């Protein structure tokens, strides 16, 4: 089995496991929801079926009993209990470990398997498998009948693929028939032992969508021809009669209309005539007859046309596309610049058209990278459930704005910080039920996780109704750690900012939930690298709210282009507040201190000329770009403010990776490179 196929299986299995976890947690809340039971069953069924096909026999074997138990649940023969949910969640974790090919904890897996076996009411699990699937799947309200032709490439065996499990998986989706077409099998003289000569006609009546059917073939889609047509839409012919064999054969393209008309001149059975005349093979007639029979059986004739709503594309291809669009944006900027210099009307027209198309392409490509944050939110339900149980607390997680979309890279990197914050809320924030009652609060604490758009950013709020941050404890700890002077007077906001300092932890004892003091500073660093910001608000005994502000995308930013001597720099526009002038007189007034008077408020500034070692002549009037980061204002002195710039971010090579204060670079229209400043880092360095 090739690694590509195993990787494809793993990718799909991870998605299924994520869906499984969400379904189980929802099922715990609504144990009678048959749709959820069905989702759990289908996830297990697919993990098992595909696992067996792609050499993950351990997963297939392990999943078998669980699938069987959920089959019983689905048929109303077993209730959904907390124990069942617990066991299934543990199984899900075991399957994940097997997928990651971590060392097996055999004791754990065998304990779980035994627990599931114990749930079975003495019935042989193997015998109920396929029949049960079929009966349950056929109980849908709106089944649709599909005509499927699956014609694998001749060399499919060489890829290690065995088509039979695919056929069984299809059977698992509903009722119907599978007919192998054997006409292409040659006699032994011409037979190539490694070739697949068989193809299949399948009639399937199912309540699953066409996408689910396609998913069965996902690992062989580039090694096979696959056609899937819904035949339910016109179960009956135009005048209301059921379709005749000839009509079906013509529709399938197995016989032409002319051949049919000619054959109908005979008085024998049509199938017999067509076979006798060698126009169609008996296998094809059989498949068509089965379709006719199947369609007759289907009572529901509701139209349910499913269009192809999505396709699966590897993330690397998407990243490559984004890179190419980035290059295109750069070249387009050069073209625009050149057209402006040449001032040729034709060239200007072309340049404007290219600019318009490029912008549209850029926006479209960026939108493809956007994913709803709900996928990440789903995981935290499990975290809250398990940890609150472990700590004997009662906590409910409420999520809001799951549909808010963020760049996939931001979402991927956001997971760990959110885990840290939520763990902290569970461990330090929400009190034990008895304590809450003593404070007149409901026993169950609430963590509210929400996402919402705010301009070109997304705000993610993690709000709990726990004890709140204790300013006295933070102050004591900060003094003890040397993070503030003993006599310093800090505002609450400044004090709360100290929890992000490395090594800071106020937990009285270290638990395995949080309290090792390695969490919040890592959170801050990660959010910084995402060019985001973090704010804490807290009220004693009422709760804490942590707000993360994140950019929608990491690939392209709106920047402010500035110039210092011969060097170009870009500041993220989201951090820029305003620009003011700085004259030699202003400099003299502050006695050389880097402070500027902004409507009565003194704002420190950094001279980029000094930071980057430019030695050229200083202009008479410099510009100060005022930015705001982490609640503080900071200015950056430059020679000239050029203006807004759509900045395609390029990573710096390894040599420059660790340069503080620079987060990347961009290529300008004329081919020059401009450095993108990391405003946070530069401000912290002062």
Residue of 14, 197, 612, 614 that binds another protein (CB under 8 A): 197
Q: Show contacts with another protein in window 444-473 (CB under 8 A).
A: none
* Cα–Cα–Cα angle for 453, 457, 463, rounded to 5 degrees: 65
- Whole-number minimum distance, CB 224 to another protein, in Å? 14
- Tell whether residue 263 is a contact of another protein (CB under 8 A): no
The interface region with another protein, picked from 180-188, 381-389, 526-534, 655-663 by CB under 8 A, is 180-188
- Whole-number minimum distance, CB 172 to another protein, in Å? 12
- Tell whether residue 122 is a contact of another protein (CB under 8 A): no
- Whole-number minimum distance, CB 322 to another protein, in Å? 42
- Tell whether residue 202 is a contact of another protein (CB under 8 A): yes
- Tell whether residue 185 is a contact of another protein (CB under 8 A): yes
The interface region with another protein, picked from 35-43, 73-81, 160-168, 244-252 by CB under 8 A, is 160-168
Burial of 24 (0-12, 13-18, 19+ CB in 10 A): buried
- Whole-number minimum distance, CB 109 to another protein, in Å? 25
Binding mask 308-347 for another protein (x = CB under 8 A): ----------------------------------------
DSSP track, 520-543: HHHHHHHHHHTT-EEEEEEETTTE
DSSP track, 223-238: GEEEEEEE-GGGSB-T
Residue of 283, 372, 604, 630 that binds another protein (CB under 8 A): 283
Using the 8-state DSSP alphabet, how is residue 192 labeled? -
- Tell whether residue 226 is a contact of another protein (CB under 8 A): no
Distance, in Å, from the CA atom of 218 to the CA atom of 74, rounded to the nearest integer, reads: 26
Distance, in Å, from the CA atom of 66 to the CA atom of 43, rounded to the nearest integer, reads: 11
The interface region with another protein, picked from 95-103, 186-194, 324-332, 364-372 by CB under 8 A, is 186-194
Residues in contact with 516: Cβ distance below 8 Å, sequence separation at least 6, in sequence order: 505, 510
| Count of residues that interact with another protein, criterion CB under 8 A | 33
Residue of 131, 186, 257, 631 that binds another protein (CB under 8 A): 186
- Whole-number minimum distance, CB 227 to another protein, in Å? 16
Alpha helices in 430-531 (DSSP H): 433-438, 471-480, 492-497, 519-529
Tally of CA atoms within 13 A in the half-sphere of 670 that contains its CB: 6
Residue of 275, 347, 371, 391 that binds another protein (CB under 8 A): 275
- Tell whether residue 163 is a contact of another protein (CB under 8 A): yes
Distance, in Å, from the CA atom of 400 to the CA atom of 410, rounded to the nearest integer, reads: 18
Kind of pairing between the strands at 567-572 and 556-564: antiparallel
**Among 73, 183, 65, CA closest to 124:** 65
- Whole-number minimum distance, CB 171 to another protein, in Å? 8
- Tell whether residue 61 is a contact of another protein (CB under 8 A): no
* Cα–Cα–Cα angle for 351, 353, 355, rounded to 5 degrees: 70
Distance, in Å, from the CA atom of 530 to the CA atom of 524, rounded to the nearest integer, reads: 10
Longest CA–CA span in the chain (Å) reads 112
- Tell whether residue 49 is a contact of another protein (CB under 8 A): no
- Tell whether residue 14 is a contact of another protein (CB under 8 A): no
Looking at beta carbons only, is 199 or 569 nearer to another protein?
199
Using the 8-state DSSP alphabet, how is residue 432 labeled? P
Distance, in Å, from the CA atom of 151 to the CA atom of 181, rounded to the nearest integer, reads: 9
Is 98:56 a contact under the CB 8 Å cutoff?
A: yes
Looking at beta carbons only, is 132 or 546 nearer to another protein?
132
- Tell whether residue 189 is a contact of another protein (CB under 8 A): yes
- Tell whether residue 180 is a contact of another protein (CB under 8 A): yes
Phi, psi of 395 (to 5 degrees): -135, 135
Residue of 278, 482, 613, 643 that binds another protein (CB under 8 A): 278
Residue of 79, 131, 282, 314 that binds another protein (CB under 8 A): 282
Is 164:130 a contact under the CB 8 Å cutoff?
A: no
**Angle, to 10 degrees, between the axis of helix 125-137 and the axis of helix 163-171?**
60
Residue of 179, 224, 668, 674 that binds another protein (CB under 8 A): 179
Residue of 76, 122, 193, 643 that binds another protein (CB under 8 A): 193
Chain positions contacting another protein, by CB under 8 A? 157, 162-164, 167-168, 177-180, 182-183, 185-189, 191, 193-194, 196-198, 200, 202, 275, 278, 281-283, 285-286, 289
């Amino acid at each position: 089995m090739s690694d590509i196929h195993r990787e494809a299986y793993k990718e799909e299995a991870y998605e299924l496991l994520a869906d499984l976890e969400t379904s189980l947690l929802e099922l715990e809340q609504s144990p009678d929801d048959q749709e959820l039971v069905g989702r759990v069953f289908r996830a297990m069924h697919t993990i098992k079926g595909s696992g067996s096909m792609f050499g993950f026999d351990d997963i297939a074997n392990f999943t078998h009993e669980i699938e069987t138990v959920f089959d019983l649940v689905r048929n109303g023969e077993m209730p959904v209990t907390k124990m069942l949910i617990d066991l299934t969640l543990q199984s899900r974790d075991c399957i994940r470990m097997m997928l990651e090919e971590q060392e097996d904890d055999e004791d754990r897996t065998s304990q779980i398997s035994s627990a599931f076996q114990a749930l079975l009411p003495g019935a042989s699990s193997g015998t109920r498998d396929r029949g049960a699937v079929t009966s349950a799947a056929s109980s849908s309200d709106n089944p649709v009948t599909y005509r499927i032709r699956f014609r694998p490439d001749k060399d499919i065996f060489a890829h290690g693929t065995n088509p039979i499990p695919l056929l069984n998986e299809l059977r698992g989706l509903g009722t119907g028939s599978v007919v192998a077409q054997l006409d292409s099998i040659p006699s032994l003289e011409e037979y190539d032992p490694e070739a697949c000569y068989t193809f299949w006609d399948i009639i399937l009546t199912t309540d699953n969508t066409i996408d689910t059917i396609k998913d069965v073939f996902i690992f062989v889609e580039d090694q096979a021809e696959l056609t899937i047509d819904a035949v339910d839409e016109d179960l009956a012919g135009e005048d209301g009669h059921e379709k005749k064999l000839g009509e079906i054969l013509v529709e399938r393209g197995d016989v032409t209309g002319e051949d049919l008309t000619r054959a109908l001149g005979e008085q024998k059975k049509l199938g017999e005539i067509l076979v006798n005349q060698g126009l169609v093979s008996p296998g094809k007639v059989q498949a068509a007859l089965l379709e006719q029979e199947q369609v007759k059986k289907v009572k529901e004739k509701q139209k349910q046309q499913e269009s192809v709503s999505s396709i699966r594309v590897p993330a690397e291809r998407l990243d490559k596309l984004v890179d190419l669009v980035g290059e295109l944006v750069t070249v387009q900027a050069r073209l625009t610049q050149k057209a402006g210099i040449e001032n040729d009307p034709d060239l200007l027209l072309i340049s404007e058209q290219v600019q318009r198309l490029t912008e549209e392409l850029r926006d479209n490509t960026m939108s493809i990278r956007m994913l709803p944050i709900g996928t990440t939110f789903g995981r935290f339900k499990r975290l809250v459930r398990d940890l609150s149980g472990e700590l004997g607390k009662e906590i409910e997680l409420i999520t809001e704005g799951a549909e808010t979309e963020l760049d996939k890279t931001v979402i991927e990197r956001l997971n760990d910080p959110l885990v840290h914050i939520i763990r902290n809320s569970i461990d330090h924030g929400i009190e034990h039920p008895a304590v809450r009652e003593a404070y007149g609060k409901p026993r169950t604490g609430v963590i509210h996780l929400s996402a919402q758009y705010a301009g070109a950013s997304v705000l993610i709020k993690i709000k709990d109704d726990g004890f709140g941050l204790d300013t006295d404890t933070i102050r004591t700890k900060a003094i003890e750690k040397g993070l503030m002077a003993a006599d310093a007077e800090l505002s609450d906001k400044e004090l709360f900012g100290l929890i992000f300092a490395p090594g800071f932890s106020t937990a009285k004892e270290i638990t395995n939930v949080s309290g090792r003091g390695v969490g919040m500073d890592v959170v801050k660093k990660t959010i910084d690298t995402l060019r985001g910001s973090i704010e804490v608000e807290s009220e004693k005994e009422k709760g804490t709210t942590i707000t993360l502000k994140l950019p929608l995308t990491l690939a392209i930013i709106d920047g402010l282009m500035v110039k210092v001597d011969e060097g170009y720099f870009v500041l993220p526009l989201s951090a820029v507040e305003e620009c003011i002038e700085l004259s030699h007189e202003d400099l003299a007034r502050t006695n050389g201190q880097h402070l500027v008077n902004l409507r009565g408020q003194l704002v420190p500034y950094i001279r980029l000329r000094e930071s980057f070692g430019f030695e050229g002549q200083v202009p008479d009037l410099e510009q100060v770009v005022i930015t705001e980061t982490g609640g503080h204002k900071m200015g950056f002195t430059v020679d000239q403010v050029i203006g807004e710039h759509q900045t395609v971010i390029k990573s710096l090579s390894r040599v420059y990776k660790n340069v503080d204060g620079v987060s990347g670079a961009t290529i300008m229209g004329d081919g020059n490179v401009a450095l993108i400043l990391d405003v946070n880092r530069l401000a912290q360095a002062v």
